Amino acid sequence: MNKPTLTLILFFSFIICSQASNNKPTGLLTDLLEHTDVVYENGYLSNLPLYRIDETSNLIQYAEIASSKPSFSWIVPFNGEGTKQMGYQIRVFESYESAIKSGQSYWDSGLVNSDSSTGIVYDGKALLPGQMYAWQVKVITNLGGESDWSDIKVFKTATKLKEYKAAGYPLVKTIEQVSRSKEVAEGVRFFDFNKAAFGQLVLTVSTDKDKDSLFVHLGERAEQDRINRKPGGTIRYQCYAVALSKGTHSYRINIAKDKRNTGAAAVLIPPYIGEVLPFRYCEVEGRQELLDNVSVMRESVHYPFDETASSFSCSNDILNQIWDLCKYSIKATSFLGIYVDGDRERIPYEADALINQLCHYGVDREYTMARRSYEYLLEHPTWPTEWILQAVLIAWQDYLYTGDLRSLKTNYAVLKARTLTALKGDNGLISTKTGLQDQTFQSSIRFKGEIRDIVDWPHTGILGLNKQEGGEADGYVFTNYNTVVNAFHYEALKRMAVIARLTDQREDADFFQKESERVKVIFNKTFLNTKKGYYVDGEATDHASLHANMFPLAFGLVPDKNKDNVLEFIRSRGMACSVYGAQFLMDALYEAGDADYALKMLTKTDDRSWYNMIRVGSTISLEAWDNIYKPNQDWNHAWGAVPANIIPRKLMGVEPLTAGFETISVKPQIGSLEWAKAVIPTIRGEVKMEIENNAGQYILHLVIPANMKANVYLPIPEQKYSFTKNGTRSRISKVKGEPFLYAGQFEAGIYTLELNKH
């Protein structure tokens, strides 16, 4: 792909002008759902609008709003540089017909003087269950005055309503054709769908015999155009016999139910979809005359997904391939509507959910699957200590990305318990080994049984790893008080202090704030080896691991004077963690501003790399770097898709600073890349970026949507430089203790920022 040129800047300008000419709010969300007006028929999109569903007797599906007080969000129209919303007016109608006739509204907010465009909670008379409603919004901006009314958005309430309940879409199906096929042996034809997907196979065959049959083989792994029928681990392969009827008929292969992933703890596929299998390849085996009259197609199953919502490309083709792999993985693994651990168990885990959540935010303007997943996990927690704590982190990210406070308010009590302060010892740290896990504690976190520390997964000596194989915890030495667990405890306390303040729990807010500060001091006194300058694994060991250092760095625990030593130790360990641990390694590296080493980790090509997932033949991210590191791994695990969030959040540097992307940070760290460009979805609209980085010149082209502010940073050049903003020489300041220049806070608009060598 060519490096960026003026063409894209002109395109950005065209987009801005187009937005300016469309003077009405767009992207309307009802309880974070954009497509409440869409109807599906057994998973397929229907041409039937929601307000006409009484005209069909077919089995249909649609999103339902189960909150009696849903929230509303929208994208403010762009009216020029610096566009800000000054006020809004929402109207809710009892029907679509009433809305299009501008009839009497069921609720009219009146003109509200506010810049809020996310998480606006309905405040009218009670919505009734099982009813159709419609709404629209108009805004007043500082530059455009009063906008036109938005298009009408229809939604239907559920038959039972609560004041708040997370919403979600039905699952959908997409018909996919074969990308290539060939005869690979006498009586055997091989079909390749190009990418793996959770789906079903439909086979169309013609035969002139009364009794005829075929065998259909489905699999994720192939070698030399043959399906690997013993792929190892839990990589999928299945074979089905198909009895044929005379004539031309289509046959849907009935996927066999797997006892393990359809058990009591698993999330089940809905009946209107039917059982699915992850596969990329198909072999049809039978009489040669039959094979000449066979066609196949796949019905892939996934959550609604907008392929156009995000994009990324750069000067490194390996990174481009990794982005494509990870972005697609988020779509492909959404086949249950809740984040699960792949196909082996189909069980949600907090560790999977946090990574999946951030990745989903990075590739689509979609927030409901993340919210439903984390609220499910509040009711069905899993056993690792760190993952219990991660619930607070997931809840915080949900609020940052959506600006919708209701989930935090509703789940406050269990989130408070998930900080695990009940496990705190006299030394001020938490432990699962000191007899504090009584029934009251277990009830508070909604878990039956004792939780235990994990650090990373798998450990040595389990899941097919023998004692000579080290597992993924870098030889971590477990003690009563462990560094990794207490790093998570600190992060949970820090986030809970803000959550408590937001939900008017002032005493709790003060407690959590003071406790986080106290834990930070105790943490460093206990775990930081002052002679070596980096962290050990626990209070009773001298062993130091990658994990004991990357988590404190990622969470902001490391004193400034020790950051270089900690970073040097982290570099010395390479990728000595799992694909799950890699999330926090990459966060730590970018937190430390080590863009070059972070890029090296993203793009390396050995067997502990994202590129290795592509090399071994998968098109969905793996559960482990390779089979040798987790012999029972599967080939469809979204917690291996870390670059889908690291690239937009850290490499391109776009993250929310305040709720609902009101204020963002733009802090790109592209390292040695010559160029990179991206479209990053947010609840307020798309952030567009293009960076040129060569020949002593660094140029950032940036588009910020309306009603958003951005704190913008650039890397400090090695040589003397001048700075211009939209062609005008401007001031720029160094950030103390960081390798960045602060260009200022920018409002909505299109900008070209240049650092030029003197």
Rounded distance, CA 441 to CA 422, Å? 7
The answer to whether 334 and 267 have CB atoms below 8 angstroms apart is no
Q: Which helix (H) or strand (E) holds 516?
A: helix 506-527
DSSP letters along 538-573, please?
Answer: BTT-----HHHHHHHHHTT-S-GGGHHHHHHHHHHH
Sheet holding 697-704, edge to edge: 311-314, 675-680, 687-694, 697-704, 749-757, 721-725, 728-729
Rounded distance, CA 73 to CA 28, Å? 6
**Percentage of the chain exceeding pLDDT 70:** 97
Residue 6: pLDDT band by 50, 70, 90 thresholds?
very low
Long-range Cβ contact pairs of 91-94 (< 8 A, separation 24 or more): 91/135, 91/136, 91/137, 91/149, 92/122, 92/124, 92/133, 92/134, 92/135, 93/133, 93/134, 93/135, 94/131, 94/132, 94/133
Residue 7: pLDDT band by 50, 70, 90 thresholds?
very low
Question: 172-302 — its CATH code?
Answer: 2.60.120.260
Question: 6-162 — its CATH code?
Answer: 2.60.40.10
Q: Which residues are CB-contacts of 473 (< 8 A; sequence separation ≥ 6)?
A: 455, 456, 457, 459, 460, 545, 547, 577
Say how many CA atoms lie within 13 Å of 329 toward its Cβ: 38
Residue 460: pLDDT band by 50, 70, 90 thresholds?
confident
Q: What is the DSSP letter of 241?
A: E
pLDDT of res. 2:
46
- The structure tokens listed for 610 are 């994202």
The answer to whether 146 and 98 have CB atoms below 8 angstroms apart is no
DSSP letters along 35-49, please?
Answer: -TT--EETTEE-S--
pTM over 0.85: yes
pLDDT digits (tens, 9 = 90+) for 359-391: 999 999 999 999 999 999 999 999 999 999 999
pLDDT of res. 498:
98
Q: Which residues are CB-contacts of 517 (< 8 A; sequence separation ≥ 6)?
A: none
How many other C-beta atoms are found inside a 10 Å radius of the C-beta of residue 352?
26
Write out the residue limits of the CATH 1.50.10.10 domain(s) in the chain. Answer: 311-651
Amino acid, single-letter form, for residue 461 = G
Mean pLDDT across 149-169? 97
pLDDT of res. 162:
96
pLDDT of res. 273:
97
Rounded distance, CA 609 to CA 84, Å? 43
Per-residue three-class SS string for 422-443: HHECCCCCECCCCCCCCHHHHH
Rounded distance, CA 689 to CA 704, Å? 9
Residue 260: pLDDT band by 50, 70, 90 thresholds?
very high
Rounded distance, CA 494 to CA 700, Å? 33
Rounded distance, CA 634 to CA 631, Å? 9
pLDDT digits (tens, 9 = 90+) for 316-362: 999 999 999 999 999 999 999 999 999 999 999 999 999 999 999 99
Tell me the CA distances in angstroms from 285 to 50, 226, 293, 391, one per residue in order: 44, 12, 12, 48
pLDDT of res. 4:
47
Tell me the CA distances in angstroms from 689 to 196, 208, 349, 705, 717, one per residue in order: 31, 60, 34, 12, 19
Tell me the CA distances in angstroms from 700 to 14, 80, 370, 757, one per residue in order: 18, 20, 31, 15
Residue where the block lists tokens 């002679």: 531
> Per-residue b/e over 16-50, b at no fewer than 16 CB within 10 Å?
beebbeebbbebbbbbbbbbbbbbbbbbeebebeb
- With a cut of 90, say whether residue 14 has pLDDT above it: no
Rounded distance, CA 687 to CA 664, Å? 10
Rounded distance, CA 697 to CA 723, Å? 10
CATH architecture assignment, domain 311-651: Alpha/alpha barrel (1.50)
Say how many CA atoms lie within 13 Å of 149 toward its Cβ: 14
| Residue (of 711, 697, 705) closest to 743 by Cα position | 711
pLDDT of res. 470:
74
Residue 463: pLDDT band by 50, 70, 90 thresholds?
confident
Q: Where are the beta strands (DSSP E) in 38-144?
A: 40-41, 44-45, 60-61, 65-67, 71-75, 85-93, 107-108, 120-121, 132-141
The answer to whether 677 and 691 have CB atoms below 8 angstroms apart is yes
C-alpha of 14 from chain center: 30
Write out the residue limits of the CATH 2.60.420.10 domain(s) in the chain. Answer: 660-757
- With a cut of 50, say whether residue 176 has pLDDT above it: yes
Mean confidence (pLDDT) of the chain: 95
- With a cut of 50, say whether residue 673 has pLDDT above it: yes
- With a cut of 80, say whether residue 61 has pLDDT above it: yes
CA angle, corner 414, sides to 521 and 642, nearest 5? Answer: 70
**Percentage of the chain exceeding pLDDT 90:** 93
pLDDT of res. 464:
67
Q: What is the DSSP letter of 384?
A: B
- The structure tokens listed for 712 are 């913008």
- The structure tokens listed for 95 are 């029907």
- With a cut of 60, say whether residue 19 has pLDDT above it: no
Rounded distance, CA 181 to CA 200, Å? 18
CATH architecture assignment, domain 660-757: Sandwich (2.60)
Write out the residue limits of the CATH 2.60.120.260 domain(s) in the chain. Answer: 172-302
DSSP letters along 426-495, please?
Answer: TTS-B-SSSS---HHHHHHTT-SS--B--SSSSPTTSTT--TTS-TTTTT----SSBHHHHHHHHHHHHH
The answer to whether 265 and 377 have CB atoms below 8 angstroms apart is no
- With a cut of 60, say whether residue 10 has pLDDT above it: no
Rounded distance, CA 325 to CA 735, Å? 35
Three-state DSSP class for residue 335: coil
Tell me the CA distances in angstroms from 524 to 198, 301, 425, 513, one per residue in order: 46, 48, 16, 17
| Residue (of 404, 405, 397, 406) closest to 655 by Cα position | 397
**CA torsion 741→747→748→750, rounded to 10°?**
-40
The answer to whether 579 and 642 have CB atoms below 8 angstroms apart is yes
Residue 13: pLDDT band by 50, 70, 90 thresholds?
low
Q: Which helix (H) or strand (E) holds 265?
A: none
First-to-last CA distance in the chain?
30
Rounded distance, CA 334 to CA 566, Å? 37
Q: Name the phi and psi angles at 248, rounded to 5.
A: -105, 120
Mean pLDDT across 460-468? 73
Mean pLDDT across 155-177? 97
- With a cut of 50, say whether residue 1 has pLDDT above it: no
Sign of the CA dihedral with 63 first, then 69, 73, and 79 last: positive
pLDDT of res. 21:
54
The answer to whether 133 and 156 have CB atoms below 8 angstroms apart is yes
Mean pLDDT across 479-503? 98
Question: Out of 103-107, 348-352, 591-595, 702-706, which region has the weakest mean confidence (pLDDT)?
Answer: 103-107
Q: What is the DSSP letter of 53?
A: G
| Residue (of 60, 61, 59, 85) closest to 74 by Cα position | 85
